[in-house]
């Protein structure tokens, strides 16, 4: 379908306004967001996305609204995988916590442009060559199987060829200079380590987009729904990082859940000409898989704590007896 041009203009204008308010209003001073602040912003981004979903319902009807909601859930859940990489990159470069938000802001802003281009190419391919859907489906199934077998993606920060190429071609300073990406020294313009982190964040987002963008085509072929669901998921990624960066490793079943979702969507795309799986069924399956992964992860962590605490207590209580002997 061809969405009204004004819808595209209104959506992108709204995104730019919200980002401007965030940058110049709430993030003018570099700081590390607290858990409370990150939680508030996470709720704000989710509420804005659901509010936009309500507008789609009003404009285009419940079918398109359901497609957006399903696509948003898929993209948002897959974006959680980025958090693992962000933690690795920030730790490798020893990025001060106060500057991490600035890196993510500009990295996500660049990601919006890059994903827009990738989505445009994907839409053109799907509309021109129907068999591309089978290629996307097979790729998602392969990715899901690989994710289960190999675990986390190793981005190889220190061995990344892009980082080594940038260091070889451009001068890079050895120390951070506040929140600046460049600095002038002895009449030369140098990149700071913060700029290297930004490059790495953008490169890894492209890597993950290769998985997530084909997945959305398993839900809908509407360019407006594909684009807006991607953008809404990316916008909430920064606050989600600061909320879950310290505890994301505890969700041990999240990775297998994402693999199952990719496998399901891939199978749906391969069966597109044989049997159409309704969007409501896709939404239900994805929601149940995510809830099961979260529930099982919480249960496993609670059992680990329960088995650890009594052992510690027993060892502590037995110490005075040993001393008496």
pLDDT digits (tens, 9 = 90+) for 198-246: 888 888 777 778 878 888 888 888 889 999 999 998 888 888 888 877 6
The count of C-alpha atoms lying within 13 angstroms of the C-alpha of 165, restricted to the half-sphere facing its C-beta, is 6
Task: Determine the angle formed by the axes of helices 97-128 and 132-150, rounding to 10 degrees.
Answer: 140
Query: Is 90 exceeded by the pLDDT of residue 128?
Result: no
What is the separation, in whole angstroms, between the first and last Cα of the chain? 83
Quote the pLDDT of residue 78.
Answer: 84
Confidence of residue 46 (pLDDT cuts 50, 70, 90): very high
Exposure string over 244-258, b if 16+ CB within 10 A, otherwise e: bbeebeebebbbbbb
**Separation between Cα atoms, residue 183 and residue 191, nearest integer Å:** 6
Confidence of residue 304 (pLDDT cuts 50, 70, 90): confident
**Separation between Cα atoms, residue 265 and residue 141, nearest integer Å:** 8
Q: Average per-residue pLDDT in the chain?
A: 82
**Separation between Cα atoms, residue 281 and residue 53, nearest integer Å:** 18
Contact 137, 155 (CB under 8 A): no
Query: Is 60 exceeded by the pLDDT of residue 314?
Result: no
Query: Is 70 exceeded by the pLDDT of residue 325?
Result: no
**Separation between Cα atoms, residue 168 and residue 188, nearest integer Å:** 16
Q: What percent of the chain has pLDDT over 90?
A: 14
Report the relative pairing of strands 188-191 and 182-185 from DSSP bridges.
Answer: antiparallel
Query: Is 70 exceeded by the pLDDT of residue 30?
Result: no
CB-neighbour burial class of residue 79 (10 A; exposed 0-12, middle 13-18, buried 19+): buried
Q: What are the residues facing 185 on neighbouring strands?
A: 188
pLDDT tens for each residue of 102-113:
888 888 888 888
**Separation between Cα atoms, residue 209 and residue 211, nearest integer Å:** 5
Quote the pLDDT of residue 50.
Answer: 94
- Choose between 324 and 72: higher pLDDT: 72
Q: What are the residues facing 59 on neighbouring strands?
A: none
**Separation between Cα atoms, residue 87 and residue 159, nearest integer Å:** 17
**Separation between Cα atoms, residue 193 and residue 196, nearest integer Å:** 5
């Amino acid at each position: 379908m061809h969405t009204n041009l004004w819808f595209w203009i209104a959506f992108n204008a709204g995104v730019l306004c919200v980002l401007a308010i965030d940058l110049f209003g709430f993030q003018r001073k570099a700081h590390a967001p607290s858990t409370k602040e990150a939680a508030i912003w996470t709720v704000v981004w989710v509420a804005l996305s659901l509010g936009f979903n309500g507008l789609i319902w009003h404009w285009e009807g419940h079918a398109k609204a359901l497609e957006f909601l399903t696509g948003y859930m898929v993209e948002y859940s897959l974006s959680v995988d980025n958090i693992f990489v962000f933690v690795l990159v920030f730790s490798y470069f020893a990025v001060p916590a106060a500057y991490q938000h600035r890196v993510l802001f500009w990295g996500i802003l660049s990601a919006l442009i890059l994903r827009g281009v990738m989505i445009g190419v994907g839409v053109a391919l799907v509309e021109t060559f129907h068999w591309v859907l089978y290629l996307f489906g097979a790729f998602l199934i392969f990715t899901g199987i690989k994710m289960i077998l190999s675990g986390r993606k190793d981005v190889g920060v220190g061995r990344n060829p892009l980082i080594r190429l940038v260091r070889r071609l451009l001068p890079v300073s050895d120390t951070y200079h506040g929140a600046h990406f460049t600095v002038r020294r002895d009449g030369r313009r140098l990149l700071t380590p913060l700029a290297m982190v930004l490059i790495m964040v953008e490169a890894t987002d492209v890597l993950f987009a290769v998985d997530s963008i084909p997945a959305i085509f398993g839900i809908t072929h509407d360019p407006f729904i594909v684009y807006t669901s991607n953008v809404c998921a990316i916008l909430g990624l920064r606050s989600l990082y600061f909320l879950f960066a310290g505890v994301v490793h505890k969700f041990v079943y999240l990775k297998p859940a994402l693999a199952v979702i990719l496998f399901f969507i891939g199978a749906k795309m391969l069966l597109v000409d044989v049997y159409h799986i309704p969007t409501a069924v896709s939404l239900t399956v994805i929601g149940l898989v995510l809830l099961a992964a979260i529930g099982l992860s919480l249960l496993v962590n609670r059992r680990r704590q329960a088995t650890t605490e009594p052992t510690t207590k027993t060892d502590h209580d037995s110490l005075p007896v040993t001393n008496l002997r």
